[in-house]
Amino acid sequence: MLHHIAIVGSGPSGLFCADALLRQRPDLKIDVFDRLPTPYGLVRFGVAPDHQGTKAVTRQFDRLFAGGALRFLGHVQVGRDLPLANLRQHYDAVVLALGAHADRPLGLPGEDLPGRYGSMAFVGWYNGHPDFRDLDPLLDRPGAAVIGMGNVAIDIVRVLGKTRAEMATSDLTAHAADKIAAANFTDLYILGRRGPIEASFTSAELAELGKMERVRPVVKKSDLPEALPAGLDAIEARVKEKNLSILHEFADRTDEKPIRLHFLFNATPDAIVGSERVEGLKIKNGPTLEVGTVISAIGYRTAADGDLPQSDARGVIANQEGRIEPGLYVVGWAKRGPSGTIPTNRAEAKTVADLLLADYANDAAPAKQGSAALDAWLSSRGVHVMDWACWKRIEAAEIAAALPGSPRAKLAAWEDLRKHRQ
Ligand X SMILES: Cc1cc2nc3c(=O)[nH]c(=O)nc-3n(C[C@H](O)[C@H](O)[C@H](O)COP(=O)(O)OP(=O)(O)OC[C@H]3O[C@@H](n4cnc5c(N)ncnc54)[C@H](O)[C@@H]3O)c2cc1C
Which chain residues interact with ligand X by CB under 6 A?
Answer: 8-14, 33-36, 41-42, 46-47, 51, 54, 77-79, 97-99, 123, 152, 155, 332-333, 340-342, 345
Task: Return the amino acid letter for 184.
Answer: N
**Which lies closer to ligand X via its Cβ, residue 78 or residue 93?**
78
CB of 151 to ligand X, least distance (A): 6
Contact status, residue 154 vs residue 60, Cβ threshold 8 Å: no
**Which lies closer to ligand X via its Cβ, residue 13 or residue 173?**
13
Q: Measured between alpha carbons, how far is residue 138 from residues 6, 42, 135, 164, 191 in Å? A: 40, 24, 9, 19, 19
Q: Tell me the β-bridge partners of 82.
A: 78
**Which lies closer to ligand X via its Cβ, residue 34 or residue 92?**
34
**Which lies closer to ligand X via its Cβ, residue 28 or residue 47?**
47
Name the E strands within 206-279: 215-218, 259-264, 269-273
Crossing angle for the helix pair 151-161 and 174-182, nearest 10 degrees?
A: 70
CB of 156 to ligand X, least distance (A): 8
CB of 397 to ligand X, least distance (A): 20
**Which lies closer to ligand X via its Cβ, residue 287 or residue 343?**
343
In sequence order, what DSSP letters do the residues of 181-221 get, joined into one string? HH---SEEEEE-SS-TTT----HHHHHHGGG-SSEEEE--G
| Beta strands 70-74 and 29-34, pairing class | parallel
In angstroms, the CA 95 to CA 225 distance is 46
- Residue 77 is given by DSSP the state -
CB of 322 to ligand X, least distance (A): 12
Question: What residues contact residue 161 under an 8 Å CB cut-off, 6+ apart?
Answer: 185, 188, 209, 212, 214, 215, 259, 261
CB of 80 to ligand X, least distance (A): 7
CB of 343 to ligand X, least distance (A): 7
**Which lies closer to ligand X via its Cβ, residue 217 or residue 322?**
322
**Which lies closer to ligand X via its Cβ, residue 8 or residue 180?**
8
CB of 212 to ligand X, least distance (A): 17
CB of 34 to ligand X, least distance (A): 4
**Which lies closer to ligand X via its Cβ, residue 46 or residue 269?**
46
Contact status, residue 11 vs residue 40, Cβ threshold 8 Å: yes
Task: Return the amino acid letter for 245.
Answer: S
